[in-house]
Every structure is written in structure tokens, then in C-alpha cells.
A and B are shown apart, each in its own frame.
Chain A
Amino acid sequence: MAEPLLSVRDLVVEFPTRRGTLRALDKVSFDIAEGEVLGMVGESGAGKSLTGAAIIGLLEPPGRVAGGEIWLRGQRIDNLPREAMRRIRGRRIGMVFQDPLTSLNPLYTVAQQLIETIRTHMDVSDKEARARAVALLDRVGIPAAARRIDDYPHHFSGGMRQRVVIALALAAEPELVIADEPTTALDVSVQAQIIDVLKEICAERGASVMLITHDMGVIAETADRVAVLYAGRLAEIGPVRDVIQAAEHPYTVGLMGSIPTLTQAAERLTQIPGAMPRLNAIPQGCAFNPRCTRVMDRCRRDRPELIARSGARHVACWLYDSAKETANV
């Protein structure tokens, strides 16, 4: 099998605090293939953003990678010196965040920022860089790009700014784009446009995408595979269709049932009792066990690892262990 573009192995992220160390990501492992869109979903606090930040080496101290490895096309990148990591960011991994203003500098025109990014990472003249920048803006759907390129970020609407950010993320032709809630701050009718642009332009350029969102609908329409995070651990990962239409992990099953849809009018939504635990109170064994309707003795004792299922799906749940205990009803 071809080598994956990105490989994350047993990633652990910790925050040392006065009251002890909090483990925010606990042995997270997944791959992203060449040209693939991997969706990452989970409720707030599940660890989605930290996963993205760890990959691009932008964890905010005191947060740190306390274990595991991250490989980009066969090169280990979690232990690189800061300068080397800075060169990878922007050049080989592009980033799109929820708030477009965090990615744009209000003091510089869009042209200055795009040209700067292009020239930092690629050996082209100023004139060529500008031509590329205009073409990119045009491609992401900025009308009159040749003229608008000399405007400042605050001259653009929220949706247009996010288009500029996408252009910026793709300016140096990265192999991977990490998009963290790229549409959460936008209006419904603008969200769809931004997702379409992101998806199309990455496909055109063969860039892989890690799409972080809490919106299962966006994942359904965009991703090839989806990873479901719960309390800093992967609960389930697999092809989008399999996970959405036939979830296997009890948490994913509950999550899918709790989403109201436009097409099926359920009288009541499925309800998962309780809430995701805080980092200082993650239960022993399976992190989901206090909320799980199918909990067994073993779930309270031992943590389930990802188990390979049919297709390309993996599920971290004792129900799918071949040496299964009988459920106590």
C-alpha cells in the first residue's frame, strides 16, 4: 500500500497544571492518504483543534506533545527544530482557521500578504508572485480580483475574507491543508460556498485536507473518511458513508441519532445521557462508559484499542473484540 501523506501515531498532548497533568489527547492514531479529505468531528473540548495544532507544531505552551510521532511523507516532523517546522508550515502544510482575521494581518493589503507568502516559499519574481496571487484570488471566487487584491482585509465581508484565507493557505501549493472550523463563524448561505471552494481547489491541486468541524453535515458532503474524537481519544474512524449510515461505536450511534435532519421527522431525538467528562475526570477504562447503554464490566476496567472492522473502519469498543464478554443486562 502507498505510504500515507500524513501519519499520526499514538499522539499524546498534555498540559501540566498545578493540580497535576491533564492529558488532552491520549494515543490518537490516524493516517491521511494522498489527495484524501479526512473529516475530524467531536463535541467541543474533544481535542479536535489540539490535534491540528500538534501536527503543525503550534501548540500553545504549556501544552506539549508528550508522546507519539507525526510523519509527513516519511519525514518525522514532531521533533523538528522550530525553524525547520516554520518552513514546513505554509509551504507543505497550509492552514485555515475559524476566524479569518486570525490568519490575516490587518495592517497589510491582501496583495502584500499573498506575495510575501509566495515569495517566502517559492523562487519567483515579484511580478510573477503577483500574477499568481491574482489568479488564486480569482480562483477562490473574489470578483474583480486584480483590483480587490490591493484592498485591506477589513474591506472584505466575512465570507470573502475566508476566501482570501483559503487563497493564502494554498499560495505555496502545500501538500496538506488543515482547516479548523473554517465555516463556523459564517452565515449558512455562505458556509456552503466556502466548503465548495475549499474542496474543489484542494482536489484540483491534489492537496489532502484535514477538515475539523463539529458539523456532521459538512463532513457528510465533503470528507472521504471521518474520525470521531471523544474525550481526547478516537472512538471510530472509517469511510464517511459507513460511519454516518451505520455507526458502530455506541457514542457515534448516539451522536448520529441526536442530530435533527431536514428529511426524517423523528418525534424525539436520541439522547445520550450526561455530558463529555472534563480532562481531570476521565473515567477508567473506556472514556464513554458512564454514558454507554451497552457498558460491560470490562469497559470500566480496560481501555479499548482501535479494532479493525470490515472495510477500512476501526472502532475502539469492546463490543467488537473477538474475545467479547457477554453484556450484563
Chain B
Amino acid sequence: MSDVLLTVSGLTRRFDVSKPLLNRVIEREQKQFLTATADVNFEIRRGETFALVGESGSGKSTIAKMIVGLLEPSAGEIRFDGKVMDFASGAAMRQLRRRFQMIFQDPFASLNPRWRVGDIIAEPIRTFGLLRGAAISNEVGRLLELVGLSRADIEKFPHEFSGGQRQRIAIARALSSKPEFIVCDEPTSALDVSVQAQILNLMRDLQDEFGLTYLLISHDLSVVRHMSNRIGVLYLGRLVEVAEAKRLFLEPQHPYTRMLLDAVPDLALSGRRRTPVTGEIPNPINPPSGCTFHPRCQHVMARCRSDIPVSTATATGEAACHLLVPEPIREPQNS
């Protein structure tokens, strides 16, 4: 059994964001594409929590949806437990789906309001035919207790619960097919900090108990730092750095990681001096050439504007920045 559970290579997703055909003809415009995820590579090891951080629009949810099979990649492949995910084969996808589940940001939208909690949680059990009859409600009761709710909640509807409790229901549902791998897309972003702490603690306990592997997606660096073993940083659809969680924030290797870190307000009141953060994320339809971070980067060089940096090994993991690769020596040219 390999140590690696999931491998993502060259993962790319483009969206067609063109105007309707008629408008395009009249306004003489070309088709337009938005690259939400560009050539992303990473692996997730069995039993670890791998996190993806990035600002809004950096492609986090797009990657999550491709991994759980809700969205087809435009290029690249995803390997789960050694097997390439085959989006064309319904039977193969169904086999895989039982083994991974997803938890979404919005606990209000992700639960069907007309279903009772018991049916919501039992749905994966029924879909995959894992149990029958009374065994199902017994299992649902057990799951509810596992996530800190009570058996009596089986009969209730989602609107009778607070945001944090709904996220517990979503977690119980995700656990019901006994998955090995759970993709959590901003699981606590809609919650207050004290409720967030309850959910993060619960996620950790469940991981310890069942040996789960997590892909955790968040824009909150502190949450990611607290929860994960390794972290990938996304900027405009590209993975700019991957590092061990402990070291990423101590020794950021990529200028964007450093900037993001400088932007996080400091509870420690250390009065640490930061470099001022500048600029905003550019329009993803026309991203800057070369390194897409170059208009905001303090270290920008000529080649940053023309060449896309490739990922190279660093002391803490890997990063894609020209600073990390010595400039190729050019032969002096005689004119």
C-alpha cells in the first residue's frame, strides 16, 4: 500500500466565459476563457491533512470539485489510491465516490431543507446500499452522537439547527459512507470563532479515530496552520508554494506567501514590522504574462514578465519563483 493517497498532476480547468454567440458576432469578439486552475501538481499522503490556501478566486473550490468528481478537468489527471479517475465511466466514479466525501462552506445551502436530518445522513448509506432496514437508523443515531448531537435529532429539519449544528450534520453525513478521504471546502468560514473551534476540534478527533485523510480548503491562514501537516498556496489558479505547515509561516519562500503572511493581523501584539501589502488580484480572464504575481512583486525581474516560473525544490518544500533559480548564464555576444 502506497503512502500517497491522492496525486494531482497538471490539473487544469478552463471555463468558457464568452458572451452569447449573437453578441459576439455583433461586437466582433473572440470566445473568452477563464483559467480557474492552471497546471496544478501536488500529492496528499494517507492520514495527513493537506491544505490549500488562497484568496477569493484563486481556484480552491474548482480544484475541490474536480477531485470529488463534480467537475471535469480540462487537462491533467487525478489519481486516487493508484488509480486514475475516469470521468467518462459512471461505474468507476460511483465506486470511488463511496471512498471520498465533501463538506461545503455553507451549512445552510448544503443540506436539503425539506429532508429530515435522519434521511440526509442516511442518503449515502442508501445510495451505496451499505445497510438495510433498522440498521440504518441505528447507524444514523450513532453518527449523530459521534458529532455531538443527539439521536432524537433524527426527526428534525435543518432549519431547527444553528450554523455550527448544521455543519455537524454535514460531517455526520460525510462520515456515513465510511470514507477514507474528505474534502472540506471552507468548513468553518461561515461560523463564529467559538463555534469554529468546536468544529475544528471535532474534525481532528474524527481524523484520529478513523485515520481520515483531509484536503482542507480555506482562506484563513491561522486555521490552516492549526489543522494541517502540509500547505499549498494558490494564486490566480497556480500553486506557487507547497511546504510543511510548521515551516511555511516561519520561512516563506515565495514572495506571495510572504505578502499574505504580512497581511494577517497579529493577535500576539508583537508589533512586528511588515512590508506594506500592495495591489489587488488582477482579472483572471487576462492574467499578467509570465509570473502572474509580477505586477505586485517587490522582487520582479525581467524574466518574470515573460517566463512562467516552474516549481523547484526549496528547504521547506517547493515553490515556483524565478528568484529560486539562478539566471541562466548567457554567452556574451559579439556584435
Contacts and interface: CB of A to CB of B under 8 A. Distances in A.
Interface of A: 43-44, 157-160, 187-193, 195-196, 214-218, 220-222, 240-241, 244-245, 254-255, 257-266, 268-273, 275-276
User: 7 nearest interchain CB pairs?
Assistant: A217-B265, A258-B197, A260-B226, A43-B192, A269-B197, A192-B263, A187-B55
Interface of B: 55-56, 162, 164-165, 192-198, 200-201, 204, 219, 221-223, 225-227, 246, 249, 259-270, 274, 276-281
B193 A271 contact: no
A188 B164 CA distance: 24
B204 A259 contact: no
A134 B264 CA distance: 30
Which has the most chain A C-beta neighbours within 10 Å: B165, B201, B267? B267
B265 A215 contact: yes
Given A260-B226, A269-B201, A275-B162, A189 B193 contact: no
Nearest to A273: B198
A173 B249 CA distance: 40
Contacts of B226: 260-261, 265-266, 269
Which has the most chain A C-beta neighbours within 10 Å: B264, B265, B281? B265
A189 B55 contact: yes
B276 A196 contact: yes
A159 B55 CA distance: 13
Contacts, number: 124
Contact of A272 (B162, B194, B262, B264): B194
Nearest to A272: B194
Contact of B267 (A244, A265, A268, A272): A244
A158 B280 CA distance: 9
Contact of B201 (A196, A216, A259, A271): A271
Contact of B225 (A265, A275, A276): A265
A269 B263 CA distance: 23
B194 A220 contact: no
B278 A193 contact: yes
A188 B165 CA distance: 27
20 contacts: A157-B280, A187-B281, A188-B264, A189-B259, A189-B277, A190-B277, A214-B192, A217-B266, A254-B194, A258-B194, A258-B197, A261-B225, A262-B221, A262-B261, A265-B246, A266-B226, A269-B200, A271-B198, A275-B195, A276-B192
A210 B192 CA distance: 21
A214 B193 contact: yes
Contacts of A217: 264-267
B162 A221 contact: no
A194 to B, nearest CB: 10
A197 to B, nearest CB: 11
A190 B193 CA distance: 21
A191 B281 CA distance: 13
A221 to B, nearest CB: 5
Contacts of B192: 43-44, 214, 276
